[in-house]
Amino acid sequence: DTGVSQDPRHKITKRGQNVTFRCDPISEHNRLYWYRQTLGQGPEFLTYFQNEAQLEKSRLLSDRFSAERPKGSFSTLEIQRTEQGDSAMYLCASSQGDSTYQPQHFGDGTRLSIL
């Protein structure tokens, strides 16, 4: 069990640029979640996948955001035309099975800074 891995750890980019983050869940976990955490706040749910299917998206996920999990393993989160308000920590989590009792295991996150 190598844990949930996120890449990159930090991303600095200019406003208007596109960025893409990657998340590798724990290998046997079929569920994968994306959260956004801004300074002084708890994580906010963005979206989640069960295998390759994206089952729910938050209203926080504007049209500039897109997430994929093409083979049911790793996932990518892309933000197009970044804005200052996108600066945050983006957290990925994974869990196993269908039970809502199964805990989510979090990665270290990708910290995005928009100049």
Which residues of this protein are in contact with other proteins, per CB under 8 A?
A: 3-4, 31, 33, 40-45, 48, 55-56, 91, 93, 100-101, 103-109
Q: How far is the CB of 39 from other proteins (least distance, A)?
A: 11
Nearest residue (CB) to other proteins, 26 versus 80: 26
- Are 95 and 89 contacting, i.e. CB atoms less than 8 angstroms apart? no
How far is C-alpha 42 from the geometric centre of its chain's CA atoms? 15
- Of 82 and 95, the one with the shorter C-beta distance to other proteins is 95
Q: For other proteins, which is the closer residue by CB, 44 or 68?
A: 44
- Residues with Cβ < 8 Å from 111, sequence gap 6 or more? 9, 10, 11, 88, 89, 90
Pair of tokens at residue 29: 């976990």
